Amino acid sequence: MDLAVKDIRRHLGKFVATIVGVGLLLTIVLVMNGIYQGNIADGVWLIENTATDLWVVERGRGGPFNESSRIPADAHKSVAATPGVAQASPFVAYAAQRELGGASQQFTIIGYDVFGGLGGPGRIVQGRAIRAAHYEMVADAKLGLALGERVQLGRNVHTVVGITREAVDSGGNPLVYLSLPDAQDVQYEQDNRAREAARAASLKKLERAGYTAEQAAKLLPLLAAATDNVNAVLVKLAPGADPAAVSRHVQDWLHFNVYTTAEERSLMLEGRLRRMSGVLGLFRSLLVVVSIVIIALIVYVLTIEKIKSIATLKLIGAPNRVIVRLIMEQSLALTVASFAFAYLLTGVVEPRFPRTLLFLPQETAATFGVMLAGGVVASLMAIWHALRTPPQLALGG
């Protein structure tokens, strides 16, 4: 006779409610795992999915993602001339918050050399890559734009020619790819009043310095903020070239900072992502601990509730293995059923979740293992308690 099953059947409602409760808690644990890994995956997605060997950025800066970096637009020409470099392309990345598709959206604009340059969208799931020098764009599906839709960005209207999926910046926001000049345009755009104000301020400065109005007007273009900048130069190495040697050369001779993709990745992990990962990791650990404590308490309470029956079993001569099996089976049933419930629920939550969730199978398995171990330890405690219970307990009252 399976006592555990009989007991569960008699208290089915209570047991199911317990499983749902614990299952919801475990769902939060699993989703937290997903958030934690998703945060890291999003954080390094752009770095890992940009086809480049080296990132050349402004000297002394940890750009282009963790710190702003500006280098002259023609810098890629001198980089390309470095021994060991097969190809060098300009690259613009600019975080924007604009009205898009009828809603205010946050996204990152990537500008690249659309005529064979590095840094373009990797996989386009719908439509095609940008082919024209101007006014075309590739957008991520997350933005909700349709193929052929016309979108105002800055002063110009762009046509959506391609759609990507899961192309995100380090904050999990979708990417928009534009041709390099279009991207620069959006990045450095100023409305007319701002331009007028800047112009007036510069004129005043020149006049105060003693120039005549005529001279000042002539000098003015030289003072205007440079807009022909890019944020980085992407480098493809020649076959067999030593990345360290090329990096050193570019750093020493061209006075830029150079990062390999691996270095850029760790800049991101140790920089922008570090605090968030720390917070998420802490919460994740706390949740795991809380879940284990709750599972342990429930298993223990399940046993204590039955302590009189257990004493009776001893009185009528039931061997210990009958009692151990009763406790163990219920504890395992609770843990396994709750986890299964959580696992299924996570699948329902995932597509509706506002952030990327990344579930690593080994992590899910480890979480299950930890919960199972918690349940087993709790049942061992409960068993220890049950086996210590004197059979006379059943006689009291």
Partner 1 sequence: MDRDGAPVLVVEGVAKTFGAGELAVHALKPATFSVAPGELAALLGPSGSGKSTLLLSISLILEPSAGRIAVNGQEVYRDGWTGIDVRRFRRENIGFIFQSHNLIPFLTAQENVALMLQLNGIGAREATRRAREILDYLEIGHRAGALPANLSGGEQQRVAIGRALANSPPLILADEPTAALDTDRGTKVMGLLRKIARERRSAVIAVTHDRRMIEGFDTVYYLEDGRLSRTSQGAAAAH
Query: What is the binding site for partner 1 (CB under 8 A)?
Result: 1, 3, 6-7, 10-11, 309, 312-319, 322, 391-392, 394-395, 397
Closer Cβ to partner 1, 276 or 324, answer by number: 324
Task: Provide, rounded to whole angstroms, the least separation between the CB of residue 306 and partner 1.
Answer: 8
Token code pair at residue 176: 């928009």
Closer Cβ to partner 1, 5 or 147, answer by number:
5
- Enter the tokens of residue 36: 């934690």
Shortest separation between residue 385's beta carbon and partner 1, angstroms: 18
Q: What are phi and psi of 95, to 5 degrees?
A: -80, 130
- By beta-carbon proximity to partner 1, the closer residue of 106 and 309 is 309
Q: Which two tokens stand for residue 323?
A: 């009692």
Q: Which two tokens stand for residue 363?
A: 């992590």
Alpha-carbon distance 193 to 121, whole Å? 35
Q: Which is nearer to partner 1, 315 or 372 (CB)?
A: 315
Name the minimum Å distance from CB 3 to partner 1. 8
Please, what is the minimum distance in Å from the beta carbon of residue 1 to partner 1? 5
CA pair distance 50, 119, nearest whole angstrom: 5
Amino acid sitting at position 2: D
CB of 338 to partner 1, least distance (A): 21
Q: Determine contact, residues 275/66, Cβ cutoff 8 Å.
A: no
* Minimum distance of partner 1 from residue 49's CB (angstroms): 58
C-alpha dist (Å) from residue 381 to 4, 78, 188 = 17, 71, 67
- 285/392 with CB nearer partner 1: 392
Q: Measured from the CB atom, is 251 or 309 closer to partner 1? A: 309
Total residue count of the chain as it appears in this document: 397
Q: C-beta of 308: minimal distance to partner 1 in Å?
A: 8
Burial class (CB in 10 A: 0-12, 13-18, 19+), 104: exposed
Residue 70: DSSP 8-state: -
* Residue (351 or 396) nearer to partner 1, CB: 396
b/e map 297-308, b = 16+ CB within 10 Å: ebbbebbeebee
90 to 106, 181, 199: CA distances (angstroms): 23, 11, 29
What's the CA gap between 338 and 97, in Å, rounded?
42
Map residue 273 onto helix, strand or coil.
helix
Rounded distance, CA 2 to CA 21, Å? 25
d(CA 221, CA 212): 16
| Smaller CB separation from partner 1, 258 or 313 | 313
- Of the pair 129, 322, the CB lying nearest partner 1 is at 322
Work out how close the CB of 330 gets to partner 1 at its nearest, in angstroms, rounded to a whole number: 11
Do the Cβ atoms of 205 and 144 come closer than 8 Å?
Answer: no
Nearer to partner 1, 138 or 313 (CB): 313
CB of 269 to partner 1, least distance (A): 54
Measured from the CB of residue 302, what is the shortest distance to partner 1 in angstroms?
A: 12
- Which DSSP letter does residue 158 get? E
Give me the least distance between CB of 381 and partner 1, in Å please: 22
CB-wise, 369 or 390, nearer to partner 1?
A: 390
What residues pair up with 137 in beta bridges, in sequence order? Answer: 160, 178
> With contact defined as beta carbons under 8 Å apart, do 249 and 56 qualify?
no
- Six token digits for residue 60: 């002394």
